Chain A
Amino acid sequence: MTISRRKFLGWCGVAGLGVARAKPVRSASLQEFAGYPDSLGVLHDTTLCIGCRSCEAACNRVNELPEPAEAFTDLSVFKARRRTSAKTYTVVNRFEAPGSGRKPVFVKKQCNHCLEPACAAACFVGAFQKSKEGPVVYDASVCVGCRYCMIACPFEIPAYEYDNAFTPRVMKCTLCAPRIKDGLLPGCVEACPTEALSFGRRKDLIRMARQRIVSYPDRYVDHIYGEHEMGGTSWLYLSGVPFSHAGMREDLGVTPALAFTSGALSTVPLIASLWPVLLVGIYAVSRRKEKLYETEKASAVEAAMEKTTLKARAELEQALEKARREKDAAIEKEVRKAIKAKSIQPGGEDKDA
């Protein structure tokens, strides 16, 4: 029941329960992830690249991509700077080297198969996975097509099938994962006539690259592009000109993309647990205030009522009293009148009274 377990863990993760994440990607940005041991990669020595576009043709063939508008032998494409697209997983660009008289530089561009890929960190269905073998593989069967992976990729690689109405896919180099599994070389590497591309274990490629830099210090810039860029990539580059002259960004830094968002994501459990407490607290205070206000109001009313009742009672009593007095007075008056009448009118009864 791996699926349900995974799903469960996924939901725990979003609920902020802090259970281990579903994927073995680093959970915090603190420790360095050195990549899977023995993972594979390609070293692109741009000083050996002659811009023949054989790799482009091979890639197109092995991946059964649609035929391009211009033939792969047409070198006029170098006039414009190209990028990967839904129909091309890899392109070679030409850069004029600074200073006249120097040969132009050709650089092949494709997915770099990052060790901690931005695209994988960004995808909300986990359609991208970094495999132990090295390739970053994409699963079109779950992809929603939000294209956040394209926003995230610092190398501007993934492309989208915008003209497909119902089953558009994200398209990018696969590092020929299916061929590697069959023990074959990636199509582009196999086709390269000059060994500008070397396929192997990333560890070995780095050693090889460093050796070349040491052996030919005049030929190379002392930097292996991809060793640390964005946390390291499976595809590595050597160059004779500063990489920024070869169309590659040198300002990306060594922090893997995941680290940029992990901080913000880690506040989720915090907000989810603190907010309710705070809000209920505020609610309680406002309720209490309101209650106090209400009780105060009620008691004021009661007091007022009491006062009025008392006053009313007093008034009533007064009135009664007055009435009584008036009545008494009236009786007295009558009595007196009667007495008077009796005394005028002599009779035996009076003496009795």
Chain B
Amino acid sequence: MPEKRIHLGSGRITPFNLVSGVIIVLGLMITVIRYTGGLAAVTRLSDYNPWGIWIGFDLLVGVALAAGGYVTSAAVYVFGLKRYHSAVRPAVLTGFLGYALVVAALTYDVGRGWRLPYPFLVQQGTTSVLFEVAACVALYLTVLFLEFSPAALEWLGLKRARNLAVKMTMVLTIFGVILSTLHQSSLGSLFLIAPSKLHPLWYSPYLPVYFFVSSITAGLSMVIVEGALSGRYLSHKMDPAHLADKDQVALGFAKAAAFILAGYFAIKVMGISVGNHWNLLSTPYGLWFLLELVGFVALPCFLYAIGVRERNLTIIKTAAVWTVLGIVLNRLNVSLVAFNWHLPAGERYFPHWMEIGLSVFLVTVGILVFRFIALRMPIFYEHPEFEENEKHSYSVDR
């Protein structure tokens, strides 16, 4: 079992550490160039294409894939699905790291990153969808930080602070769901302002609904994918309860994902008929749209359904990865591929390698920080000293 040997021990020279080391060095170099030569030195952004993959991938995809945090904590604390409790901490941690990286990416992308608090502190552009997004992301990042804090406080042995943090669980969860609903959908609303630039198959007054609903499928699928990955590389950190629950979580989330993907498919089709864009489906953009809709929504939905029926985890994991790719495709389509579709080919955007490099760098940083935390803090296991407490305060039953 060669993979087992790559298991992510830190501090040793493994292929994983080597590759991530190279990526980190590259990322730091890109950072230097970005902050000395400006955006022009590292991106292919232009006056026609002000947003590239740092928005399309890092922001839009990043936020969608970090939805696991609110989806899982809502399922467990609001809907009372206690049997998924062991999935909460990993999901909240990835959510928190995801959002932190989104903000990090934004400091690279906006012209003057240190002014990111200006919309709150200096002057509020309340007519802007982006203002709502910024406000919600800032607040939600705080919420995620607080939701994650019990794990860190347990690790530090700060009992009293930890118990205080745990007491806020319910309020934070509800607040998090509201904020997530708002900004997940608003990321779609961002593009409502430019009907003349986005292809009619992707432009729809329902964009906010599409973004919100698909973020739920993204969140569910990411929990499954992360579960599979950490099951492979971090299983030595999992307590028996977590190991036992793992497959249950995957099965339950897969079922939910199948239903929501089906709903998402239905409202997308509804969108075409409301806009009466059927005739566009036979154009090249139409075929691309169909590929997204059939290949990356309908198919993974079907796959999920089969996986749940057969209780086959391999199929479920495949469906999860597939759904995640579908989300990536969708967000890139809306923000880059179908955006500015009216422009001649010469004016269209294609990322510079350094733009991709920075995105890869940020994802790598995320994985490394996740590993660092998961190897130290009680993420996949319950801290022995707090087990009782935990059960008491959440009234978890096993």
Contact = CB atoms under 8 A, between A and B. Distances in A.
Interface string B181-194: 11001100111111
B111 A264 contact: no
Chain A, interface size category, equals 35 or more
A166 B114 CA distance: 10
A257 interface: yes
Q: How large is the interface on B (under 10, 10 to 19, 20 to 34, 35 or more residues)?
A: 35 or more
A88 B112 CA distance: 22
A281 to B, nearest CB: 10
Nearest to A147: B50
A168 B369 CA distance: 32
B80 interface: yes
A126 B124 contact: yes
A59 interface: no
Contacts of B74: 279
A83 interface: yes
Contact of B47 (A6, A144, A160, A272): A160
Contacts of B35: 165-166
B45 interface: yes
Contacts, number: 205
A36 interface: no
B128 A123 contact: yes
A282 B135 CA distance: 26
Interface in A40-77: none
B112 A145 contact: yes
A136 B72 CA distance: 46
Interface in A158-187: 158-169
Interface string A263-303: 11101100110011001101100110110000000000000
B59 to A, nearest CB: 10
Interface stretch (A8-16, A200-208, A338-346): A8-16
Contacts of A21: 126-127
B80 A144 contact: no
A147 B197 CA distance: 15
A265 B132 CA distance: 8
Contacts of A271: 178, 181-182
B123 interface: yes
Residue in A13, A120, A283 whose Cβ sees the most chain B Cβ within 10 Å: A283
B194 A152 contact: yes
Interface string B116-131: 1011001111111111
Top-6 shortest CB links A-B: A145-B111, A286-B80, A10-B124, A147-B50, A162-B40, A124-B131
